[in-house]
Amino acid sequence: MSPLAAVLARDLRLASRRPAEALLPVVFFVVAASLFPLGVGPEAATLRQIAPGIVWVCALLASMLSLGSMYASDHADGSLEQMLLSRLSALELAAAKSFAHWLMTGVPLLLVSPLLGLLFGLSWDAIGLMALGLLLGTPTLSLLGGMGAALTLGLRNAAVLILLIVLPLCIPVLIFGAGAVSAAASGLAPDGHLYLLGALLLLTALGAPVATAAALRISV
């Protein structure tokens, strides 16, 4: 097994031993999105109009819940230092950690999103478009979140600092992800929003692991 695959398998195995912690983002995602129809009202047209923004905001906040533990536990017990001293490069470590976070957080959110789309009365075309946007956007959230977790590693109030660092960077993903469904509902082509989401993913995939690796070396 390659070192990168070993780190990925290790994180997934640790998450399987803490199922309650692993399921927390999904539970928050479903509960938070389900509360909006109770507060806004049962009007179907209003719910369909605000559904994309609600789903994306809840997905963004849900993905932030587990960022604090991405590197903190390994840093506390010395595992992170040993991994950085091994033949595994810091760049590979950052990529493996972000990919593991996406598998544990982004993929479950992606699988649950059609149920929320049905809850808000979206059509199947709109639900498929929203799922495609989440497929392109959630890896970007994990990559940016890993960078924020590395920058705040070992600091007091790290969870608050992660939010202050990561949330402004995730605003374009939120805008284009929700805008794709809104554009399709208005009769416009959503291709531009999806292309921009893909461009953000490529840009983040190239830059975020490098910045995360540098932040890990500084922190350790």
Q: What is the pLDDT of residues 107-130, one digit of tens each?
A: 999 999 999 888 888 888 889 999
Query: Would you say the pTM of this structure is higher than 0.85?
Result: yes
Q: What is the pLDDT of residues 73-101, one digit of tens each?
A: 888 888 888 888 887 888 888 998 999 99
Neighbours of 34 (CB within 10 A): 15
pLDDT tier for residue 45 given thresholds of 50, 70 and 90: confident
The two three-digit tokens of residue 151, written as one number: 């920058």
Give me the residue spans of the domains in the chain: 3-219
Q: How far is CA 64 from the centre of its chain?
A: 7
List pLDDT tens digits, range 179-217: 998 888 888 888 999 999 999 999 999 999 999 999 988
> d(Cα 12, Cα 119) in Å, to the nearest integer?
30
Q: Which two tokens stand for residue 91?
A: 């760049």
Q: Give the span between the Cα atoms of 93 and 128, in whole angstroms.
A: 33
Which residues are within 8 A (CB) of 211 and not within 5 positions of it... i.e. 6 or more apart?
A: 147, 150
Q: Return the number of other C-beta atoms located less than 10 Å from residue 177's C-beta.
A: 32
